Chains A and B, each alone.
Chain A
Amino acid sequence: EAGVTQSPTHLIKTRGQQVTLRCSPISGHTSVYWYQQALGLGLQFLLWYDEGEERNRGNFPPRFSGRQFPNYSSELNVNALELEDSALYLCASSLYGRLTNYGYTFGSGTRLTVV
Chain B
Amino acid sequence: SQQGEEDPQALSIQEGENATMNCSYKTSINNLQWYRQNSGRGLVHLILIRSNEREKHSGRLRVTLDTSKKSSSLLITASRAADTASYFCATDAQGGSEKLVFGKGTKLTVNP
Contact A90 B102 (CB under 8 A): no
Q: Which 10 A-B pairs have the closest CB atoms?
A: A42-B104, A106-B42, A43-B102, A103-B45, A108-B42, A106-B43, A56-B97, A103-B33, A42-B102, A100-B30
CA distance A48 to B100 in the complex (A): 10
Q: Interface on A for B, CB 8 Å cutoff?
A: 4, 31, 33, 35, 41-43, 45, 48, 50, 55-56, 59, 88, 90, 92, 96-97, 99-109, 111
Residues A41 and B104 in contact, CB atoms below 8 Å apart: yes
Residue of A nearest to B33 (CB): A103
> CB of B99 within 8 A of chain A?
yes
Interface size on B, residues (CB 8 A): 26
* Chain A: CB-nearest residue to B100: A104
CB distance from B96 to the nearest CB of A (A): 9
Residue positions of B touching A, CB distance < 8 A: 1-2, 30-31, 33, 35, 40-45, 48, 50, 88, 90, 92, 97-105
Q: Which of B30, B31, B42, B50 contacts A90 (CB 8 A)?
A: B42
With the chains together, A43 CA to B4 CA distance in Å? Answer: 11
B92 touches A100 (CB 8 A): yes
Q: Find chain B residues with CB under 8 A from A59 CB.
A: 1
Nearest CB of B to A81, in Å: 20
Tell me the nearest residue of chain B to A101, going by C-beta: B48
Residues of B within 8 A of A105 (CB): 45
In the bound complex, what is the Cα–Cα distance between A41 and B88 (angstroms)? 11
- Bound form: Cα–Cα A105–B48 in Å: 13
Given A42-B88, A109-B41, A111-B40, do A99 and B98 touch, yes or no (CB 8 Å)? yes
Please report the C-alpha to C-alpha distance between residue A43 and residue B100 in the assembled complex, in whole angstroms. Answer: 10
- In the complex formed, the residue of A with least CB distance to B92 is A99
Q: Whole-angstrom distance between the alpha carbons of A108 and B104 in the complex?
A: 18
Q: Which residue of B lies closest to A46 (CB)?
A: B99
A102: B residues at CB distance < 8 A:
45, 48
How many Å lie between the Cα of A11 and that of B88 in the bound state?
Answer: 26
User: CA of A92 to CA of B44 in the docked complex: distance in angstroms?
Assistant: 10
